[in-house]
Amino acid sequence: MKRYFIITGTITYAIKCRDALRQNGYKAELKRTMNSGGNVGCGYGVVTVSYLDEIKNIMSNYGIRYLQIKREGE
């Protein structure tokens, strides 16, 4: 498992993303960012420790749109 930062387009999707990860047993926290997935300006995301494929599956299963998934520190 690695530490990832999932960048979402909205605070609503960030909360939805955090809750979905928690429901699947992963720790997840909201985080404000200035790097919002290639767009310029403020945004929100979720920091979690998980597997990349697992994160993508959860996002897909819960219908959560995200802009980017980054390894923390990259």
Partner 1 sequence: MVYLDNAATTGKKPMSVIKAVNSTLLELSANPGRGGHKSSVRASEAIYGVRQKVAKLFGASGEDRVVFTPSCTASINIVLKGILDRGDGIVISSLEHNSVTRPCETLRKSGVEVSVAEVIFGDNDATVRSFERAIKSNTKAVLCTHASNVTGEIMPIAKIGALCKQKGILFIVDAAQTAGVIPIDMQGMGIDFLCIAPHKGLYAPMGTGILIAEKEITHPLIEGGTGVNSAVAVQPLEYPERLESGTVNLPGIIGIGAGVDFVNSKGIENIYKAELDISRYIYNGILKTSGCVLYTPIPEYGKFVPVVSFNIRGISASDTSELLDKADIAVRGGLHCAPFAHKRLGTIEGGTVRVSPAIFNTKRDADIFLFALKRISFNYKNSKKH
Give the footprint of partner 1 on this chain (CB under 8 A): 9-13, 15-16, 30-32, 36, 39-44, 63, 65
Q: Which DSSP letter does residue 27 get?
A: -
- Toward partner 1, which CB reaches closer, 7 or 55? 7
Closest distance to partner 1 from the beta carbon of 34 (Å) = 10
Nearest CA among 21, 68, 15 for reference residue 49? 21
- Toward partner 1, which CB reaches closer, 1 or 12? 12
H/E run at residue 8: strand 2-8
- Toward partner 1, which CB reaches closer, 4 or 66? 66
What phi, psi does 51 have (nearest 5°)?
A: -105, 145
